Copies of this chain bind each other. A is one copy, B any other.
Amino acid sequence: MGTQLLNEQTCYERLRNWIIDGTLQPNERLIELELTARLGVGRATIRTVLARLEQEGLVVREPNRGARVRFVSHEEALEILEARTAIESLLARFAAMRAQPADVAQMRDLLEQMRACIEHGDLVSYSTLNTALHRAIAEAARHRTAARLLETLGSQSVRYQYRTILAPGRPATSLTEHSAVVEAIAAHDPDAAEQAMRAHLSGVCEALRRLRQGL
């Protein structure tokens, strides 16, 4: 067990990762003393970290009743995706305006890797590359405010990220949608980039909605 000496920041990142990767499951109670033992820090530190995570939307705290991992329902996941659509469209637009050649090269590289993943049927790696591409676009946009919003939104909905990819035929269409976004950015066409990103995420939305029906 990791009983290292940690400062607040690393402690925050650890706990955050545990929530994101599912080590700590939704609705699971986060008992301060327990985390104290697991992370090797005092309760005061745990407390501030939990407060930060609450503000970030990963944790829910109720007065005198402690903290728990926030459970994100299907409805909320959809809301988050809708909000992401708005933000990522903005980012795509700005990426088209401000992307450097190096940015575009990286995006194309990622796209190529994604293509390979689909050929080999490696959907897990595909999903990882997918988030990497979205991150690359966000960076190319050089828009800190929007990027920060996207970061928090993304962390809240990771639980649902893998599911949409599993829909039949979804990976292939996903790839062509991504290509369209990248090409619009490469062509420095803001309107096209925004539109392509919106179309792509609408597709994901639709896939998630359909999954919900089938459940």
Residues of A within 8 A of B (CB): 7, 9, 44, 47-49, 51-52, 54-57, 63, 76, 79-80, 82-83, 85-87, 89-90, 143-146, 148-149, 153
Contact = CB atoms under 8 A, between A and B. Distances in A.
22 contacts: A7-B63, A44-B44, A44-B47, A47-B48, A49-B51, A52-B54, A55-B55, A55-B56, A79-B144, A80-B145, A82-B90, A82-B143, A83-B87, A83-B90, A83-B145, A83-B146, A85-B90, A86-B87, A86-B90, A86-B146, A145-B153, A149-B153
Contacts of A143: 79, 82-83
Q: How many copies does the complex hold?
A: 2
A140 to B, nearest CB: 15
A interface, by DSSP: helix, strand, loop or mixed? Answer: helix
A9 B55 CA distance: 12
Given A47-B48, A52-B54, 5 more contacts: A48-B48, A49-B51, A51-B52, A55-B56, A83-B146
